[in-house]
Amino acid sequence: MKTKAAVLRQSGGHERPYTVSKPLTIEEVTLDKPGKDEVIVQIKAAGLCHSDLSVIDGNRPRPMPMVLGHEAAGIVVALGEGVTTFNKGDHVVFAFLPSCGHCEYCMSGRAALCNPGAKANNEGVLLNGGRKIKNHNGDVYHHHLGVSGFAEYAVASIYSLVKIDKAYPFEIAALFGCAVMTGVGAVVHTAQVHMGESVLVVGLGGVGLSAILGAKAAGASQIIAADVSEAKLHVAKQYGATHVVNSSQEHALDQVKQVITPSGVDKSVEFAGAMPALDFAFHATKKGGVTVTGALPHPDARLSLNPLILVGQEKTLKGCYLGSCVPSIDIPNFLALYKKGDLPVDLLITHRLKLDEINEGFERLANGDAIRQVIIFD
């Protein structure tokens, strides 16, 4: 099958603006037939995420060349050998880490730590180790996190897919594969926010704003939004933040720990991907509290932390990947909350694009001028 796709040939080294350097090229590629436990999905919507931008700018190196994109939804159009859990015409959301279902982590309910899934993602292959994308010369391209959603069609492992109700709009459903799953999951699963607790959200992109929605749905009494962008702080109020703090200001930490709360927040979650942001989140958390980071900073980044604080104040610092979710369970559950009006994620979408506008979209994202941009495929 031939399809148009956005191909990245080099991670890092692209000059700004991306509207000029055009790191992604739109090419016609060929997809191999789906193999055992694989399907072909017609992509209907795909979101532009900072994790994609991190591959473009070199902060998250991946094997090249690669068809980028990891947040997507679409329709199953072809089945490979042995596929019985999906049918043609099923609507699906991609999870950006396949869950094999049989490793020690999947068996214990921690699908976000799936060993075979992580290995496949690091190598740029599908769960079974294959690469199914070729150009007209026969050169093989890598898959991005088992999705490669910036394309009209994609070959995917069934273990990267979650079947959803056909009533959900694709542009909304796509968001639940990354932004919503990660942000809401970090709040309800990793931080385990309880009704009446105070929550600090640092970093107000699509994931951070999803976390605010998640904290509101969980019944948090105070939801403090922190960022260095005044525009994003203004947006956070519309999402349910009860207080906003510019974390770059001199007395920002005192504002959280003395003005808004008596001694700090119960739970904090950080999605900025910068060490000052994580440092702010950790020190804004009160004794006995929990700080969660779900961001992906540069691999060389390091956090300076005095372990005496961990011991003497009994604080907890936790990592969060995939929102600590089990996608096959949590994506349908979160979508049900959207249907009830408890997760109004429509607010996240600021721009709708065509595939050939993708470089403009990533320049807008790099400038901080967008929250969630979604490519719509006709």
Q: Would you say residue 291 has pLDDT above 90?
A: yes
Domain assignment present for residue 325? The answer is no
Q: What is the pLDDT of residues 143-181, one digit of tens each?
A: 999 999 999 999 999 999 999 999 999 999 999 999 999
Structural domain including 118 reads 2-177+344-376
The percent of residues in the chain predicted with pLDDT above 90, rounded, is: 97
pLDDT digits (tens, 9 = 90+) for 326-367: 999 999 999 999 999 999 999 999 999 999 999 999 999 999
Q: Over the stretch 175-209, which tens digit does the pLDDT of each residue have?
A: 999 999 999 999 999 999 999 999 999 999 999 99
Q: Is residue 339 part of a domain?
A: no
- Closest C-alpha among 322, 319, 313, 325 to residue 289: 313
Statement to judge: residues 75 and 50 lie in one domain: yes
pLDDT at 319 over 90: yes
Asked whether residue 251 falls in the same domain as residue 131, the answer is no
Tell which residue, 68, 296, 95, 69, has the closest CA to residue 177.
Answer: 95
Residue 64 lies in a domain: yes
Based on the fold, state whether residues 42 and 71 are members of the same structural domain. yes
Would residue 248 count as lying in a domain? Answer: yes
Q: Is residue 338 part of a domain?
A: no
Angle (nearest 5°) at CA 215 between 297 and 225? 55
Mean pLDDT for the stretch of residues 232-257: 96
| Domains in the chain, number | 2
Question: In the prediction, which pLDDT does 296 show?
Answer: 87
The more confidently predicted of residues 303 and 183 is 183
Same domain as 54, residue 152 = yes
CA–CA distance from 253 to each of 224, 276, 282, 316, 336 (Å)?
12, 12, 10, 18, 36
Check: pTM over 0.75? Answer yes or no: yes
CATH number, domain with residue 16 = 3.90.180.10
Mean pLDDT, rounded, of the chain: 97
Same domain, 135 and 254: no
Q: Is the pLDDT of residue 265 over 90?
A: yes
332 part of a folded domain: no
The pLDDT of 129-150, averaged and rounded, is: 97
Q: Which of 281, 304, 320 is the last residue of a domain?
A: 320
Asked whether residue 27 falls in the same domain as residue 59, the answer is yes
Boundary of a domain, candidates 304, 320, 336: 320
Same domain, 167 and 25: yes
**What is the maximum alpha-carbon separation in the chain?**
64
Burial call 287-322: b when 16+ CB within 10 Å, e when fewer: eebbbbbbbebeeeeeeeeeeeeeeeeebebeebbb
pLDDT over 90 at 299, yes or no: no
Burial status of residue 269 (CB atoms within 10 A of its CB: 0-12, 13-18, 19 or more): buried
pLDDT of residue 237: 96
Closest to 24 in 3D by CA, of 370, 296, 366: 366
Residue 5 has pLDDT above 90, yes or no: yes
pLDDT at residue 82, rounded to an integer? 95
pLDDT of residue 378: 85
Q: Are residues 40 and 123 in the same domain?
A: yes
pLDDT at 298: 86
Q: Are both 272 and 145 inside the same structural domain? A: no
The yes-or-no verdict on residue 123 having pLDDT over 90 is: yes
pLDDT of amino acid 103: 97
pLDDT in tens, 53-104: 999 999 998 999 999 999 999 999 999 999 999 999 999 999 999 999 999 9
262 and 152 in a single domain? The answer is no
User: What is the reported pLDDT for 369?
Assistant: 93
Same domain, 138 and 159: yes
Looking at residue 264, which CATH number applies to its domain?
3.40.50.720
Domain identity same for 260 and 172: no
Residue 337 lies in a domain: no
**120 found inside a domain:** yes
